[in-house]
Amino acid sequence: MPTPALQPFLDATGRIVHHLNAIVVGLSAVEAGKAVKPATMDISWSPLDPRTSSRQARTFALRSTLVFLSEELNAYLDHLTAFPSVGRPEDWDSKSKADRLMAVWRLLRLEDDFTLMGVTLVEHWRNRIIHRKSNAHLTDAQRKMFVDAVKEIGENYKNLDPKRTLENFEKNAPTLKDVSSLTAMAIRYVKMLDEAVPEPKSADEVINWLSALNLSDALDRVRRISSAKGKEEVGVSTFFRTHCPELLDAYTYYCTNKL
63-92 residue pLDDT tens: 999 999 999 999 999 999 999 889 888 899
Domain membership of residue 107 (yes or no) is yes
Tell me: the pLDDT tens digits for 188-200?
A: 999 999 999 998 8
Average pLDDT, the chain: 93
Last residue of a domain, one of 196, 212, 228: 196
Domain encompassing residue 65: 6-196
pLDDT in tens, 24-64: 999 999 999 999 999 899 999 888 999 999 999 999 999 99
Q: How many domains does the chain have?
A: 2
Per the domain annotation, does 1 fall within a domain? no
Asked if residue 207 and residue 142 are part of one domain, the reply reads no
0.95 cut: is pTM over it? no
Closest to 122 (Cα-Cα) out of 60, 57, 189, 205: 189
The pLDDT value recorded for residue 73 is: 98
Band (257; pLDDT cuts 50, 70, 90) = low
For 203, what's the count of Cα atoms within 13 Å in the CB-facing half-sphere? 5
Domain check: are 165 and 218 in the same one?
no
Q: What is the pLDDT of residue 163?
A: 98
